[in-house]
Structure 1
Amino acid sequence: MTDSSTPVILSLEQALSLPYGTLRFVHLGWRVIRIEPTPVPGRVSRGDPNRYIGRPVAGEDRHSYFVAPNVGKEAITLNLKEPSGREALLRLIATLGVDVFCTNTMPARHHELGIDYETLRSVKDDLIWCSISAMGVDYPDVPGYDPVTQALCGFMDLTGERDGPPMQCGPPITDLKSGDEVFAQVLLALWERDRTGKGRMIDISLAHSAVSWLHTFTPLLDMGSPPEEIRRNGNRHRQFIPVNAYPTSDGYVYMAIGSDSQWARLVAQPMFAHLDLEVYRSNEGRRSVQEDLHAQIAATTCRYDSATVSAV
């Protein structure tokens, strides 16, 4: 239930990045209304095509891929290719007192659909306008999806086994990071509006969001680090040893030793007491013989089940 003080978000959204971002506002109890396309002649599905991806879980028009980032939202259809649809959008913004308009439509289409910042702020001058695109409004014609952005920004080059091929991350992390950027930037803009009375334009790109998560790698480039320090490394850490997934009799355990004192506590346990050797007592020593150390740990853990190793 909402009241007149509840922020209203109107969002022309598709795929995952923006639906995930506006879902965060649903979690705050805000009113989120998503705009979907009107029926297209010759196409069986109605509304957002993502409604029909995955397994039907809440009716024939709400499949699993769609429900996860859109639960708790309202939905309307508008044909923004027609003047009547664009006029209806302006009336909605004015009548509902929309606080935030969001879109992840390609910037090249903003003006023709009547969803650009200047057009929408003409009916509500304190409107907060937020866009997600592949490369930002300065590159309006560039399309983009999460795995493409992962490849473009180096994530795939940093993910996977050391001698294996590039690999995308399991979760769609650039989509999700962009959605989190929407959440953070809109909250900041609303806070600023409370102080100044002014709305603002927010431009978020998948690429910028992705690169912001390379924080631990970009300094290495600036400092002239050798290439082997900036490459995919599987389950291992580039600096701290041992950090890895080790086999057990019924699966795997993940071990992360981040200091020499942690190593000392590990080898104080009977299971690993045989590894209490001088060469292993410092991280640099462990790094110098890391292949042998990883092999010795694996030879130990594989004799026990996961629960026993995890209890150490």
Structure 2
Amino acid sequence: MAGQTEAARPIGALSGIRVLDMSRILAGPTCTQILGDLGAEIIKLEKPGAGDDTRKWGPPYIEGPDGQETTESAYYLSANRNKRSLGLDFTKPEGHAILLRLLESCDVLVENFKTGTLKRYGLDHDSLKTRFPGLVYCSITGFGQTGPYAARAGYDYIAQAMGGIMSVTGSPDGPPMKVGVGIADVTTGLYATIGIIAALRHRDATGKGQHLDIALLDTQVSWLVNEATNYLVSGVRPVRRGNEHPNIVPYKAYETLDGFIVLAVGNDAQFRRWCDLADLGHLGEDPRFSSNANRVVNRVELDRHVAIAMKLRTTANWLAVLETEGVPAGPVNGIDEVFSDPQVLARGMRIEMPYPHDASGTVALVGSPLKLSETPVSYRYAPPLAGEHSKTLLSQLAGLADDEIVDLVAKGVVSSTVP
């Protein structure tokens, strides 16, 4: 366990775990943000003068206290809370020595450099495992540490393309379509988090760390779920169906009198209840539609009836009657509507954190979906500026004196936003 006093340990399931975060962009930072929300101490290592690439991925950017736009992007803010930033150039001898000193008190290292990059600096898992036998070392790459593509750079968009999801997303007569957010990156971060927690349990039981090899392409393939298994079982290549479901009918977004609504009929009883509500009770008894299997086969004909009926009422009217009768449905919300939805707000999915670098003094972020009764998540640090905590971390964890830190800053080995 990382050396912390009881008073210094935040409340959380991972309290006492210290993570050296050498990742950037989205997959690694998503992983370490989750670990941080669960109580782990996250040290975000950033290259002096550069920092995380996503800091400049905008607009939009944070507006500073002077009213001027900063270089801190909303994209960066989305995956970097509960971290402290250390600006350190580990490619220089002094920086390399400091990194090794920091690892002496770390439980986990997360990195997303191209395969083989850290080996040049003696910072790959094989180089470190003898000196740090209990270290959980997590490598996140596009294609993994093995295989013919291992040396390639990895990006979410490429993973979505190569991993098949774009072939089943979008309109049937349209081009391949990616998901609207970096979902391959985010899901890779989730799998990395799960793997790290499992490896920590093993480490606590045996004293042995291990190497986690997590790849965007592997993860993307894994969440093809039913469409992948549909193919593996049938040999038939899945196709784009727009908003339709390959195995359930009716299950799509329908136009109403004043908007759109998602109708998600999951079983035959729900279908018969929808038929009664739509004054189409005979369809529930029609052998072409009475079972889900037959509805899937006859989806085109059924969809014609459902689409006509759904356009006869407003979205609000449909939602009211469908909820009353237990037929699953929901509105198609814009993101502005999401963050004004009473359920979303009641569940704490929008949070505000103190943030002196913004003109308002606070920053709004997306909350964690994890609700733990005994060890709830906590929000302790807003996303840091690059090198914001360099002096504190080097003093507390590496034992450096102030004049040593000043000298390292002058040499470009360390960067600090605190004079």
**TM-score (normalizing by structure 2):** 0.68
Q: Which residue of 2 aligns with 1:293?
A: 302
Aligned partners of 1:90 and 1:123 also within 8 Å: no
Among 104, 107, 123, the alignment partner of 2:112 is: 104
Among 47, 54, 57, the alignment partner of 2:51 is: 47
Q: Which residue of 2 aligns with 1:69?
A: 79
- 2:25 is the alignment partner of 1:19: no
Among 195, 198, 204, the alignment partner of 2:208 is: 198
Q: Which residue of 1 aligns with 2:290?
A: 281
Among 242, 265, 271, the alignment partner of 1:263 is: 271
Pairwise CA distance, 1:200: 0.8
Pairwise CA distance, 1:51: 1.2
Q: Which residue of 1 aligns with 2:94?
A: 84
Pairwise CA distance, 1:274: 6.1
Pairwise CA distance, 1:187: 0.4
Letter in 2 for 1:84: E
- What pairs with 1:118-197 in structure 2 (closer than 5 Å)? 118-138=126-146, 139-197=149-207
Q: Which runs of 5+ in 2 are unaligned?
A: 1-6, 65-69, 322-419
Pairwise CA distance, 1:135: 0.8
The 3-state SS of whatever aligns with 1:280 is coil
Deviations along 1:237-280, one digit per CA (max 9) or x if unpaired, are 11221111110122101112222221112122254446445232
Pairwise CA distance, 1:287: 3.3
Q: Which residue of 1 aligns with 2:387?
A: none
Q: Distance in 2 between matches of 1:269 and 1:303?
A: 12
The 3-state SS of whatever aligns with 1:62 is strand
Aligned partners of 1:19 and 1:179 also within 8 Å: yes
**Greater relative contact order (CA < 8 Å, ≥ 6 in sequence):** 2
Comparing both structures, which one devotes a greater share of its residues to helix?
Answer: 1
Q: Which residue of 2 aligns with 1:42?
A: none
The 3-state SS of whatever aligns with 2:21 is strand
**TM-score (normalizing by structure 1):** 0.90
Letter in 1 for 2:178: Q
Change (3 A) 1:284 1:7: closer
Aligned partners of 2:254 and 2:262 also within 8 Å: yes
Q: Which residue of 2 aligns with 1:43?
A: none
Q: Distance in 1 between matches of 2:293 and 2:117?
A: 55
Q: Distance in 1 between matches of 2:231 and 2:282?
A: 39
Q: Which 10-residue stretch deviates more, 250-259 or 264-273?
A: 264-273
- 2:257 is the alignment partner of 1:249: yes
Pairwise CA distance, 1:176: 0.9
The 3-state SS of whatever aligns with 2:45 is strand
The 3-state SS of whatever aligns with 1:101 is strand
- What is the percentage of aligned positions where both structures have the same residue? 31
Q: Which 10-residue stretch deviates more, 48-57 or 103-112?
A: 48-57
The 3-state SS of whatever aligns with 1:102 is strand
Aligned partners of 2:278 and 2:309 also within 8 Å: no
Q: Across the two proteins, how many residue pairs are aligned to each other?
A: 302
Deviations along 1:206-245, one digit per CA (max 9) or x if unpaired, are 1111111123233333333433xx1111111112211111
Pairwise CA distance, 1:296: 1.8
Letter in 2 for 1:118: D
Letter in 2 for 1:53: W
Q: Which runs of 5+ in 1 are unaligned?
A: 40-45
Letter in 2 for 1:293: L
Q: Which 10-residue stretch deviates more, 266-275 or 151-160?
A: 266-275
Pairwise CA distance, 1:303: 2.0
Q: Distance in 2 between matches of 1:49 and 1:134?
A: 17
Letter in 2 for 1:263: F
Q: Which residue of 1 aligns with 2:317?
A: 308
CA-based RMSD of the aligned residues comes to: 2.0
Pairwise CA distance, 1:72: 1.8
Pairwise CA distance, 1:306: 0.4
